[in-house]
Structure 1
Amino acid sequence: MILIADSGSTKTDWRLLLPNGKIAQATTVGFNPNYQTAENIQTELLENLLPQLGGNQPTHIYFYGAGCSTEAKCSLVAGAILTVFPHSQVQVMSDVVAAARGTCGHSAGIACILGTGSNSCLYDGQNITAQMPCLGFTLGNEGSGSYIGKKLLNLYLNNELPSDLQEAFRKQYPQTQAEILHHIYNEPFPNRYVASFAHFLQGRQRHPFIADLLHQNFLDFFRLTVCKYPNYQALPTHFVGSVAFYFADILRKTAKSQNIQVGRVLQSPIAGLALYHQEAAGNI
């Protein structure tokens, strides 16, 4: 019995591959070892994941997660999982591996994550062969919800949005400047909080100012990541994540302007990951 997790900073999608070939689903909050302790992760698994699994105990767990980019961070997450599932074999990998396996499968391509945060890699069909630096919430995350959320907040708080958008934003988010800054600088998970403001852009993509803001967001990502991979124009570039999914039209137009071939655009790579591990286990 195999349990698979695709974890971003906001949400984790789980799939349990049962011996009869059926697949069970579960959802919990996201885990990121850059912002959470092993105890935080353990508590969420015990209180919210276990009840959804209906008593099933996996033999193997493959956890793909945001922030799982070093051995130390992977060990922290693995330790928390093993506390809850002590008889399972646990493997923890970066969410960019999930993006590659879930979109490229066994073919070469470029896999990108555009969700709360962002990441990318060059994949040869079996392994990641190159990866641009992922500088995180403070220094990077171009193309992501947190990146565009920071830009949107900056414009709003400086009264730089067009008047119609300034008023609409104020009505949708009535928090004061002091409350917003307190949440960013004093509360946990500032990346999630800032990324949540990207919801304001949904349904407003046709507004010229919003369209340009999204175009520039994706252009920054392409310039600093995809366009630096060798032979990037000849390979399909795939995307996973809520920002890529909900703003796919502008993403595709921006990619075309950079001669980037867009392949799959998925909200989550979890279905592709389930297929990948079914094939690896010989269950299909």
Structure 2
Amino acid sequence: MILIADSGGTNTMWALIDKNNIEYVKSAGMHPSQLGNGMVFPPALEKHRNYITGLYFYGTGCARQQGREKVKQFLENWFPNTHITVFSDLMALAHAGWGDESGNVAILGTGSSMAYYDGFKLKFEVWSPGKEKDPGSGTDLALQILKLYKDAALPHDISGDLQKILNKKLEQEDENGLLARYIMQNQHNVVLSELCTKQYSSFFEFYDPLLQKYPFPVVFGGSIAYLSSRLLNNVANNYNLKIHLIIQEPIYQLVRFYRNRKV
């Protein structure tokens, strides 16, 4: 019995594989910075805990060794008798979208990043500058529209919508997440379409050193890439870049990846 996890900052999708049976479970996100005593083991997995022989965990914040080690140490408390391997969320896209082939992988979600996958490991020419500075990400889009709002540079209808969102926001709600969701839901609006186009262009320009060295198609993942696929494809075309695939939920392709290997 093996367990696969695909974890973002908000949610973790688990896939428990036992011969021909697959069970999917959703729990809270497990970014290295979020791990702590308050995190609860997914109850649906409890009865299987002692029977899992291998755990393959893919997570945001795990591109660097420090993040991977922190997550692995935490998971070892949950699965003390299980062989655990921790990968970055970009590797999830590599395994899900490219398998053993090579190509570029990129994430546009709450944050953003890009790397080249050589069929075995990831190669980084440019590192993500950090969640609030990741170009083209949901956080980036939210901060950009918030700046336009504060500068009174938005049309009256959009400004009014944002005022309602900000006034109704509960204390525990994520402001950037609410604003990014609004942009995705209204990206047909000319102003918001132009904002997205500008920030997606910034994303490709930021990762131009990698794309110059590895001028290959890209597998994209992340909520922003999926929800804004038409605009993203248009911007990619402007840079003569081919998008090979946009994956909404890598967990399903990861299940196929591991079942093909019969691990």
Q: Tell me whether the two structures share a fold, i.e. TM-score over 0.5.
A: yes
**For residues 252 and 229 of structure 1, what CA distance do their matches in structure 2 show?**
16
**For residues 214 and 231 of structure 2, what CA distance do their matches in structure 1 show?**
20
Matched residue, 2:167: 174
Which segment is superposed worse, 247-256 or 57-66?
57-66
The 8 Å contact of residues 38 and 76 in structure 1, kept in 2 or not, is answered as no
Mind listing any 5+ residue stretches in structure 2 that lack a counterpart? none
**For residues 249 and 240 of structure 2, what CA distance do their matches in structure 1 show?**
25
Q: In the alignment, is residue 135 of structure 1 matched against residue 129 of structure 2?
A: yes
1:24 deviates by 0.8
Which segment is superposed worse, 224-233 or 140-149?
224-233
Matched residue, 2:194: 212
Which segment is superposed worse, 60-69 or 129-138?
129-138
What is the identity, as a one-letter code, of the residue corresponding to 1:205?
A: Q
Runs of 4+ more than 3 Å apart: 230-233
What RMSD, in angstroms, separates the aligned Cα atoms of the two structures?
Answer: 2.1
**For residues 276 and 226 of structure 1, what CA distance do their matches in structure 2 show?**
30
1:239 deviates by 0.5
The 8 Å contact of residues 236 and 262 in structure 1, kept in 2 or not, is answered as yes
1:174 deviates by 1.6
Gap change, CA 1:62 and 1:277, over 3 Å in 2:
same
* CA distances 1:183-230 after superposition (whole Å, capped 9, x unpaired): 7xxx8xx9x542332011133222110100010111111111156334
Q: How many residues align?
A: 261
The 8 Å contact of residues 125 and 209 in structure 2, kept in 1 or not, is answered as no
**For residues 27 and 161 of structure 1, what CA distance do their matches in structure 2 show?**
38
SS, match of residue 210 in structure 1 = helix
| Percent identical | 28
Mind listing any 5+ residue stretches in structure 1 that lack a counterpart? none
**For residues 175 and 260 of structure 2, what CA distance do their matches in structure 1 show?**
38
1:48-67 equivalent positions in 2, closer than 5 A? 49=42, 51-53=43-45, 55-57=47-49, 58-67=52-61
Match of 1:260 among 236, 241, 250: 241
What is the identity, as a one-letter code, of the residue corresponding to 1:147?
A: D
* CA distances 1:229-270 after superposition (whole Å, capped 9, x unpaired): 34544x221100100000111000010011000111111211
Gap change, CA 1:145 and 1:269, over 3 Å in 2:
same
The 8 Å contact of residues 91 and 122 in structure 2, kept in 1 or not, is answered as yes
